[in-house]
Chain A
Amino acid sequence: MEFFTNILSIFQEHGTAFLEATWLTVSITAVSLLIATLIGVVVAGLKLSSIKLLNLIADLYIGIIRGTPLIVQIMFLYYGIANFIMLDSFTAGAIALGVHSGAYIAEIFRGAIQSIDKGQLEAARSLGMPTTLAMRRIVFPQAFKRAIPSLGNQFIIGLKDSSLVAYISVTELFNTALSAQGENYMPFETYFVVGIYYLILVLIFTQIMNRVERKFDVNRPKKVKVA
């Protein structure tokens, strides 16, 4: 019973803060995932290029990002380079999260493109399509469809990883929870509540991704099979 009254008091005392924090979590995630997707497309292109130098650049980027912890990257971008460029915490956080997810998304795109049967490109070229047109019209749409589940997964990881920007004083959900439990001395209930917030965000997001996936699935179309 005490648990529920405590929860209620958290909502009474920090309800507005959590609401604003939710907005910050959602917006920093959205900005970072946009950056990540753009980076992912470009770096996947570099990795698939036949130019060795471009492959090397992509490998270097992916290697460094995957090889170092996200929290180190965030701290580096906010405090580490402060002597040269002073980024505000939201910008530093969004860039760090975006550059981080970008490495993983690049690999998702590359894998998806490589998984498309070579016969698809050959068929398109045999019809007289230049390679770039064939990639754009035939290979990429199929690859994108195939990438959606992994992409959704990566986006959810990105959403939850955004909690790490709490440590560069972005007042998003986790940061708000940290300060709230410092005031109310109820760590159990406070972290429980913030967990619920993340859970709800992830569930909403999962629903959106499921819809996107269905939209691209031509095998369950509106057109009914007429024997």
Chain B
Amino acid sequence: MIQVKQLSKSFADLEVLKNIDLEVEKSEVVVLIGGSGSGKSTLLRCLNFLEIANSGEILLNGKSIDDKTNLNKVREKVGMVFQHFNLFPHKTVLENVMEAPIYVKGVDKQKAKQQALNLLEKVGLKEHVHYYPDHLSGGQKQRVAIARSLAMEPDVMLFDEPTSALDPELVGEVLQVMKNLAEEGMTMIVVTHEMGFAREMADRVIMLADGVIIEEGHPDEFFTNPKHDRTQRFLKQIL
């Protein structure tokens, strides 16, 4: 589904990603972990081209994405959920979800509304469709953000620390929505510190450090028997 070949990204003199190779299969759930500044968020942002890599190649569904590719079309197919939700505060929950299908895809308003209502029911927010984002809790906001991304019917969903800005008691409801999504077969790449989620849902856990993938594996193996000493140290700190 997604292939990353020799991807590198620098900000000025700072090399954030160094020759990353990564392949994600359809319906696979990949969890990216790593310390602050390890490059995990940058990698995610490169995958939907919010950051443009300096070198390397990204293939989506076997097709290489180059200068000639319309990135807007790519982003339609690569959903992204942000740490700080980034809901549109001047639009209701329903309008947030309907916005892109109508104005990007040209979906008929009634159809977009029906789809949005279905998605909002799916994330448990049927009762809140006419609220404005400022009247929602963090967990509710993040669930709206997930529904908003899903409305574009993406092939893959990227999650950039989706629960890091939440109060602890609100983390569960967001993770539950993500679990449901994974069980439905959505391809997901998740940057998170929620090791419980990784252990339970991930097909593969990848550890990044200093812009390099230092270790990856199935969570059973990864968590019980980490090979790299940096992984061991990281897991000790976080668990």
Contact with B along A108-146 (1 / 0, CB 8 A): 000000000101101111111110010001100110010
Contact with A along B198-230 (1 / 0, CB 8 A): 000000000000000000000000000000000
Size of the chain B interface, CB-CB below 8 angstroms: 31
CB of A85 within 8 Å of the partner chain? no
CB of A51 within 8 Å of the partner chain? no
Size of the chain A interface, CB-CB below 8 angstroms: 24
**What's the Cα separation between A119 and B161 when bound, in Å?**
14
CB of B197 within 8 Å of the partner chain? no
Whether A226 contacts B152 by the Cβ 8 Å rule is no
CB of A50 within 8 Å of the partner chain? no
**What's the Cα separation between A133 and B149 when bound, in Å?**
17
Of the candidates B48, B89, B135, the one whose C-beta lies within 8 Å of that of A126 is: B48
Whether A218 contacts B82 by the Cβ 8 Å rule is no
Whether A127 contacts B86 by the Cβ 8 Å rule is no
Whether A218 contacts B132 by the Cβ 8 Å rule is yes
Whether A218 contacts B103 by the Cβ 8 Å rule is no
Interface-located stretch among B15-23, B53-61, B73-81, B180-188: B73-81
B residues near A, CB below 8 A? Answer: 48, 50, 72-73, 75-76, 78-80, 82, 84, 86-90, 99-100, 103-105, 127, 130-132, 134-135, 145, 148-149, 152
18 A-B pairs in the complex with CB atoms less than 8 angstroms apart: A117-B86, A119-B86, A120-B86, A120-B88, A122-B86, A125-B50, A126-B75, A127-B75, A127-B79, A127-B148, A127-B149, A128-B100, A133-B104, A142-B88, A145-B90, A218-B89, A219-B132, A219-B134
